[in-house]
Amino acid sequence: MKSKIILGVCGGVAAYKSAELARLLVKGNYDVKVIMTDSAKKFITPLTFQAITGNPVLSSLWESENNNAMDHISLSRDADMILVAPATANFIAKLNQGLCEDLLTSVCAARSCDLVVCPAMNTYMFNNPPNLRNIKQLQDDGVIFIGPDYGIQACGEEGKGRLTEPLEILKNVEKLLTIPKLDGIKILISAGATIEKIDDARAITNLSSGKMGISIANQAWKMGASVTLVKGITNEEINPKINTIEAKNHSEMERVILNNAGNNDIFISVAAVSDYTLKEKINGKIKKNSESLILELKKTNDILKNTKEKFPNLFCVGFAAESENLISFAKQKLIEKKLDMVIANEIKQTMGSESAEIVILMNHQEKIIHQMPKNEIAVNILDEIHESFQK
């Protein structure tokens, strides 16, 4: 089911960013209803938000969508979160005093869900002692604050007071609305491709995009886990709050994983690590002096297998990307490497794509997760890992 969010918009220059925030929330599959103050409508029109969210925009205590003049009660009862962005100093003061002068303050006062406030104002207004006291009291009362950020403001002054960027607000909202079932669990995740140099200009790599591994890392953080990500080659966006360590080739990835595995409860090996590397390093650049070129490669160490052997109590999850005999090869990997779980998928269907179909294999158990976006696949994988890890 879609989480339902009331997006409150106060009157300030930063109100234009609320439209982008609304768009991101809708894209993230949230049902968004917007409540605007009269001052907010001086900066941006209700029609903009109605077009983005597909829902009527509310602003008056006297114009009820339920025809019972009880929107300030019914709206908050139906919502999973009230998010106010931007929140002005005036709104924060009213909120702290319990004033109910309009629909937004009334809904906030009558709420039965989390209230998240994103301040935006001049830096001197933000640092004004009464404003800071209001924020402190509201935090003590359980109101959640995101931001503000430091930077140059519309007035030209610089300091703390800028509205936190919509994408960052979205990430915080996602975490707040995600059940923290992985709270207290430390997870090490490898993701992306590795690259092995041939000479100073050329290299061997693979076609992994890193989408699956990064999706698992981002979702694990949202679910409350302490995440360490060992990142190979990938252009996927990583939550900046995740502890990320770069490891571009096999030897770097092996060293980082073995150095960190002992400090974690779970290791999820998603990275497409090079199975072979050049036997002898070639300095400079190979010249095109002949029609063919023979390179001698050597097999690399099996990082996942060695990690499980060195840390037998570590819950280890491997991935089996195969082009044939999917279940058979996945079971073989599960047994030979003594893993706790293997995620099997067809290379042609999943590598580089936005969605995937997988089979989760454990001892004497198989579960098919049919085609869906990789961020949703990641949630299913983490749910299965959590259930098995807790046994």
Report the catalytic residues: 155
**Residue 254 Cα distances to 210, 259, 276, 300, 385, angstroms:** 17, 8, 14, 10, 23
Amino acid 4 reads: K
How many Cα atoms are found within 13 Å in the side-chain-facing hemisphere of 164? Answer: 19
What is the DSSP pairing of strand 355-362 with strand 365-373?
A: antiparallel
Adjacency order of strands within the sheet including 144-145: 31-36, 4-9, 81-87, 114-119, 144-145
Report the distance separating Cα 51 and Cα 57, nearest Å.
10
Q: Are 339 and 315 in contact (CB under 8 A)?
A: no
Instruction: Name which of 83, 62, 60 is nearest 6 in CA terms.
Output: 83
DSSP string across 149-162: EEEE-TTS-EEEEE
Strand boundaries in 98-252, DSSP class E = 114-119, 144-145, 149-152, 158-162, 186-191, 196-197, 203-204, 226-231, 243-246
